[in-house]
Structure 1
Amino acid sequence: MYTVIGTAGSRVMRVLWMLEELGQPYDHVKAHPQPDGVAEIAPAGKGTVLIVDGTPVSDTTAIIQYLADRHGALTHKAGTLPRARQDGLTQFLLDEFDAALWMAARHSYILPEELRLSGIRNTLRWEFEHSQRVLVSRMGEGDFVMGDAMTVPDLILTHCLTWALSAKFPIVEHRLTGYLARMRARPAWGRAAAHEAQD
């Protein structure tokens, strides 16, 4: 049994979805890692934490890749060329999709008002649209980012595209629009979303 600590509406959805895809049982503690002594296992006091046999693992990308490796699913084997390509796509999505959305959020409502740069959203939106075109050129021919098999980058991309819609960052590539609809129709996504929404 895994324990996932993280608030609803955050990157915790990536971890819940991965566990649902793997068919693994888990408890979800809807809290920031900071309160009630949880800061001892997550000193930064933010983000998502997975507890495995009493040991905390932080950062959603590290968590979902760990789970994929541990259960031998949704990933290519370490040390192979497909895994190198998978890791490259994961890093691209973090650098170009996740980072733009997070920066926009910081300058919209997270940073103190006097530190926010309202005009930065236009630059980030332009970069996000450009990154979509680059990604489509790197995607495989099948239904998933890498082709015919779902892998870790799919969890990150689907979450980022969902986040983009709520942040009013347009999805300009038709292939990504269809992709997002297919991924969000997966039963495991639906179960994770329902679990995240529960009180």
Structure 2
Amino acid sequence: MSSPYVLWGAPRSRSTRLAWILEELDVEWTWNPISFRNGEHRAAAFLAMNPAGKVPVLQHGELVLSESTAIARYLAARHPDTGLLPPEGTSAGAIVDRWLSFVTTELEQALWTKAKHTFALPAKLRVEAVRGTAEAEFKRAAAVAHTMFGTGPYAAGDTFTLADVFLAHTCSWSRSGKLWDRLSPELQEYARAQLARPAYQRAVEIESGP
């Protein structure tokens, strides 16, 4: 019998993507919250799993894995029947990988840059002008995302995939960055539809705790 998955993370972070994926997969898994406020990400035991002191971290048997894209692809590849990750070497798989790369390096990066220079970095390291640059970069990336979207109901066509988890989750982050209105009406409608999925709702509930 396969070992259950164990996910270390924090609510409203990149770990939400993995909780969502685990719920879509309908597999056994355990949620271990990490409190940044209490400094748990700097504890020796956690740093042994991820020296960067960041979430998410997945443990599966002897494997300990960080970085949300790597974890997402690992999980989906282990459960190919779900269709979350099309086979390697196919056009469908390439399109999903393109979305994963674009979302994490373009769309999300602009949001994270604004967040760092708004609250995440120590005050002395924040540069107000960078926030404006990040907003402009997000607007540009959101316009590209709108153009990349095909004719299907999902990011990569007719099937819900990892691309939808990453894209919809990042769109939801734009609310906290006060950049939701930079998304096209079509992307807003798309994101709402994905975030209404039962698996996402369960993931958020699990992360929020009792």
Q: Same fold (TM over 0.5)?
A: yes
Who is 1:172 aligned against?
183
Identity %: 33
- The match for 2:99 is 89
Q: Which residue of 1 aligns with 2:21?
A: 18
Residue equivalent to 2:85: 75
Counterpart of 1:153 in structure 2 is 163
Can you list the C-alpha shifts for 1:11-39, whole angstroms capped at 9, x where unaligned? Answer: 11000000000101111100154426121
2:45 paired with 1:42? no
Q: Which residue number in structure 1 is paired with residue 74 of structure 2?
A: 66
- In structure 2, C-alpha distance between the alignment counterparts of 1:107 and 1:113, rounded to whole Å: 8
3-state DSSP class of the match of 1:51? strand
Q: Secondary structure at the match of 2:59?
A: strand
1:3–1:28 Cα contact (<8 Å) kept? yes
Instruction: Note the C-alpha offset of 1:86.
Output: 1.6
Match of 1:162 among 151, 167, 172: 172
Counterpart CA distance in 1 for 2:152 and 2:92 is 15
Alignment partners' CA distance in 1, 2:88 and 2:42: 33
Q: Name the CA distance, whole Å, in 2 between partners of 1:130 and 1:41.
A: 36
Partners of 2:187 and 2:136 lie apart in 1 by 16
Q: Structure 2: state its 5+ residue gaps.
A: 35-39
Paired with 1:145 and 1:195, the residues of 2 have a C-alpha distance of: 26
C-alpha distance in 1 between matches for 2:200 and 2:113: 25
Moved over 2 A (4+): 32-36
TM-aligned CA deviation for residue 83 of structure 1: 1.2
- Equivalent of 2:116, from 106, 112, 116? 106
Deviations 1:145-177 (A, max 9, x none): 011111111111111111110111134301111
Give 3-state SS (helix, strand or coil) of 1:97's partner.
helix
Query: SS state of the match for residue 149, structure 1?
Result: coil
Q: How many residues of Structure 1 are paired with residues of Structure 2 in the alignment?
A: 199
> How many angstroms apart in 1 are the aligned matches of 2:209 and 2:193?
23
Structure 2 residue corresponding to 1:189, chosen from 200, 204, 207:
200
Q: Which amino acid aligns with 2:152?
A: G
Letter in 1 for 2:183: V
One-letter code of the match for 1:80?
A: T
Secondary structure in 2 aligned to 1:119? helix
State whether residues 48 and 60 of structure 1, in contact with CA within 8 Å, keep that contact through their aligned partners in structure 2: yes
Task: Give SS of 2:58's match.
Answer: strand
Report how far residue 141 of structure 1 moved: 1.1
Is residue 11–residue 204 contact of structure 2 (8 Å, CA) maintained in 1?
no
In structure 1, stretches of 5+ residues that fail to align are none
Q: CA deviation at 1:197?
A: 0.7
How far the C-alpha of 1:47 sits from its partner, in A, is 2.0
